[in-house]
Amino acid sequence: MRHVLLDADGVLQSLPGGWLAAVEPFLGDGSAEFLEQSWADELPALRGEGDFLVELDRAVQRRGLDLDVETFYAAVWNAIEVSPETVGLVHRLRDAGYGVHLATNQERYRAAYMRGPLGYDDLFDVSCYSCDLGAVKPEAAYFARALRLVGAPAGDAVLVDDNLANVEGARAAGLAAVHWDLTQGMTALRSSLAELGVRVDGPGD
């Protein structure tokens, strides 16, 4: 096992307070319903099709809100808190000779923010954004294209993801996979990786 693929949201990064808390100051009542619909509207953009900001603007206008959609988007979707513990693990894995790659479902605006201002292009060996691959986790096509980009066979890679469906999809595609999120702590993740032969020393939780 020489390659580790890390999910973004829930594994590498989080939204402080959660999505609902981020949206409510802008939308008030009905925020939960709005979020559910926005995630459905986002799916084509996650595949690299269409424009999520256009869809978001339409959703805002349907509610009759006087809201600048770019300001709204930046305040919510880009309000990302990066986990220093996961970043530290990435560095230790790379120092130990493992290939460490980002494997995430994102539309192109958030992907650009993660690549640039958050510095993920420098952090990872390879970044596998769904909007670039034209497929989303947990689809088999996503994993096939990600592995092609990484240049590794499925049997030489492990995915760490907080979404069980993605974990099961990875395993069905021949990868090893760990179901983990930030709330479980770094010691638990290192232990799960060690069981798969990926061993790295470092601080705990």
Q: Quick check: 119 and 131 in contact, CB under 8 A? A: no
**Tokens standing for 64?**
């009759």
DSSP state of 7: -
- One-letter amino acid at 167 equals V
**Tokens standing for 71?**
């300001």
Domain 3-14+80-195, what architecture?
3-Layer(aba) Sandwich (3.40)
Percent of the chain with pLDDT over 70: 98
Residue-level pLDDT, tens digit, the chain, 205 residues: 899 999 999 999 999 999 999 999 988 888 898 888 888 889 999 999 999 999 999 988 888 888 899 999 999 999 999 999 999 999 999 999 999 999 999 999 999 999 999 999 999 999 999 999 999 999 999 999 999 999 999 999 999 999 999 999 999 999 999 999 999 999 999 999 999 999 887 655 4
Q: Whole-model pTM?
A: 0.93
Distance between CA 172 and CA 204 in Å, rounded?
A: 31
Angle of CA points 83, 85, 87, to nearest 5°:
70
Distance between CA 149 and CA 22 in Å, rounded?
A: 34
Distance between CA 175 and CA 60 in Å, rounded?
A: 40
With tokens 């009759």, the residue in question is: 64
Q: State pLDDT tens for residues 11-51.
A: 999 999 999 999 999 888 888 988 888 888 899 999 999 99
- One-letter amino acid at 79 equals A
**Residue ranges matching CATH 3.40.50.1000 in the chain:** 3-14+80-195
Which one, of 114, 109, 19, lies nearest residue 55 by Cα?
109
Residues 6+ apart with CB under 8 A from 26: 65, 67, 72, 75, 76
Burial class (CB in 10 A: 0-12, 13-18, 19+), 95: exposed
Residue 139's CB is within 10 A of a number of other CB atoms, namely 18
State whether residue 40 is helix, strand or coil. helix
Pairing mode, strands 3-6 and 157-161: parallel
Distance between CA 138 and CA 168 in Å, rounded?
A: 8
pLDDT at position 202, please?
A: 62
